[in-house]
Amino acid sequence: MKDIRTEIKDKGYAIVENLLDADMIQALVDDYHQLLDTLAPQLYDDGRISSDYSHLPFEQRLTAILNESKENLYRHFDIALPNEGVTLETPFHLSPVIFDMLRNLTLLDYVESVIGSEIMASPIQHVRIKPPQNLVTEHPNTLVQNTAWHQDQGVVRPEADESDILTVWIAITDATIENGCLQVIPYSHLDGITQHCTYDTLTIPTALLGGEPKPLPVKSGTAIFMNSLTKHASLPNISDTIRWSFDLRYQLIDKPTGREELPELIVRSRQQPERVETDFDAWYNRWLSARASIASMTERPKKHRWDGDAEVCA
């Protein structure tokens, strides 16, 4: 197994090719195809789109629906609840296949080599399905268009600063410079937390980036492991097809996640193996309970540590 711990400590990231095998990738693809096959007819029957686009392949179908609807339909595909606006009806997508990906043994072996054997999957997990940018310029979810420069530690509340969070970015489709691959600033994790500004999305201002961005084109199934302080963003998708990835995070058990209102998932423990969650339905029901609890709150928890009034953000 490749030694990624030293690489991450040194330059802030490490790349592992073929982390997910073809069977796991196909299972994820099939899962999202089924989701779209269920969602599209519902949207059409409700009059929210003019066609269910069933004649199109998945990638073109999803892009056409996102482009026409101008709604934040992206929520139906993501695997966590949003930071704000949660109601009893807020959609999210969890499935046994997602559950299996989060607990993938090869993935956890690499995570263990970096943070140790007592591993929890953070509740901050996302799918990134990035359509061609020219087709979704007016989409209400800016993440559909682009992911701005940020640090993953910068988008959680400060109580999680000592939690040793590890990001695992996994390509489902090939990620190329043309379709919007990840880019990082090597060694930027050594500078600690950098001021973020609250523009349309949480962003590190250009003046504070430092260093030279390095694009990381990778093949399907490849994982990019990152220190939670590594500055990263995505390039725009100027191709004619989607770029699809998952943005996962792992940390030590019983440490703050920075999203305590959301359910964590214990995925490995050498010391207390009985704590490891193996029941998908139990995990899914905890997310339903969390959604109901958040929806009932009169005062929602802060999303992050930034208030946007720093001079550099003006």
Task: Judge whether 21 lies within some domain.
Answer: yes
Domain carrying residue 238: 5-300
Confidence of residue 83 (pLDDT cuts 50, 70, 90): confident
Task: Judge whether 311 lies within some domain.
Answer: no
Task: Judge whether 162 lies within some domain.
Answer: yes
Whether the predicted pLDDT of 71 surpasses 80? no
pTM: 0.94
Q: What is the Cα–Cα distance from 239 to 290, expressed in whole angstroms?
A: 38
Q: What is the pLDDT of residues 148-165, one digit of tens each?
A: 999 999 989 999 998 999
Q: Mean pLDDT over all residues of the chain? A: 92
CB 211 within 8 A of CB 188: yes
pLDDT at 96: 98
pLDDT at 24: 97
Q: What is the mean pLDDT of residues 254-273?
A: 95
pLDDT at 72: 74
Q: What is the pLDDT of residues 181-216, one digit of tens each?
A: 999 999 999 999 999 998 878 899 999 999 999 999
Task: Judge whether 313 lies within some domain.
Answer: no
User: The domain spanning residue 149 has which CATH number?
Assistant: 2.60.120.620
Bridge partners (DSSP) listed for residue 246: 127, 170
Report how far apart, in Å, the C-alpha atoms of 148 and of each of 180, 206, 220, 288 are: 12, 10, 22, 30
Task: Judge whether 314 lies within some domain.
Answer: no
Whether the predicted pLDDT of 145 surpasses 80? no
pLDDT at 132: 87
Q: What is the pLDDT of residues 95-130, one digit of tens each?
A: 999 999 999 999 999 999 999 999 999 999 999 988
**What is the number of domains present in the chain?**
1
Query: Integer distance in angstroms from the first to the last C-alpha of the chain?
Result: 47
Task: Judge whether 309 lies within some domain.
Answer: no
Task: Judge whether 185 lies within some domain.
Answer: yes
Q: What is the pLDDT of residues 220-241, one digit of tens each?
A: 999 999 999 999 999 999 998 8
Most confident of 78-82, 161-165, 248-252: 248-252
Task: Judge whether 213 lies within some domain.
Answer: yes
271-297 CB burial, b ≥16 within 10 A, e <16: eeeeeebeebeebbebbeebbeebeee
Confidence of residue 303 (pLDDT cuts 50, 70, 90): confident
Whether the predicted pLDDT of 136 surpasses 70? no
